[in-house]
Amino acid sequence: MSIKIAINGFGRIGRLVFRRAVESGEFEVVAINDLSSAANLAYLLKYDSAQGVFKGHEISHDDNNIIFDGRIIPVYSEKNPADIPWDKNEAELVMECTGRFRTKDSAGAHLGGSVKGVIISAPADKDTPTFVYGVNSDELTSEDTVVSGASCTTNCLAPVMKVLDENFGVEGGFMTTVHAYTNDQTNLDMVKEKDFRRGRASAANIIPTTTGAAKALSLVLPKMKGRMHGISMRVPVIDGSVVDLTITLNNKVTIEEINNAMKEASETNLKGVLEYSDDLLVSSDIIGSTYGAVFESNQTIILDNPDGKQYVKVLAWYDNEYGYTCQFMRLAKLMAEKLNLV
């Protein structure tokens, strides 16, 4: 039996949630809420500049509905989550994809009637439980009815750090995400009061900015609190990002030991979450990846300092759109199981 989901916010992640729901066969999208027209949303669902045309399906619309393979999916246009009539469509889980409702209280306004759980597709406040599937998702319980799926970068960083810490013990380190531009940036230079550089033309610049991924890591791996820091470099690619991680470990290791640990994890406890690759990858190769992280073995570097200190550098790719969405939907399925919806 399919899990009935509703999507609030039909932007980049919301539309990919729809795609993944269809492709997995485990979910049924019963309703959408977005302030844009059904016509525009149907068009963007079918045609996607990063992920390609949504082939093999008939997609049309009328005034207030998207019609997908003959099935009518209502499109509401409510600003307040509490006003969306999800109950009318028997939605069981709400995928909160607006980026606006990122607290337990605000996202929790979806709860009630048929809706038993809400998952936020963005980092949330500290009072909202945060989970990365495969990392700390075993801690999810039926009491967790409003949760965050963290960020795309945290979903890449956390599985890699889990393997490194469990096998070798992580002292600390720095990460840089070389990140595709996103829609919180601009095409041409314009005012961005919170972050001046994010206001610079996204397709013409490498833009240093902040990332909360290193800090958020401690929400899913508490041992990492205070041990990691990082920055983001926004670059002129439409999709496909990479985490460059430099750390120190408790014990000296070899490149082979690092790579072997990653390979083993990719075939066992992190299967489907972490991919191991010996290939020479570039960012466009990652578009469409279903993994949270793609570890590239030939980029593992170890520096043995003359003072005896050892530095380890590893690289992990991620589709910051679709890979994240797949992780998000794995968490959604797990929540449905905990809530006895399947």
The tokens describing 195, both together, are 């972050």
Reading the block at residue 6, the tokens are 């509703």
Q: Which of 194, 152, 81, 173 is nearest to 320 (CA)?
A: 152
Residues classed as catalytic: 152
Q: Are 237 and 181 in contact (CB under 8 A)?
A: yes
Whole-number Å distance between alpha carbons of 332 and 206: 34
Contacts of 265 (CB under 8 A, 6+ apart): 159, 162, 163, 274
Q: Which residues pair with residue 242 across a beta bridge? A: 178, 317
Backbone dihedral angles phi then psi of residue 250, each to the nearest 5 degrees: -70, -30
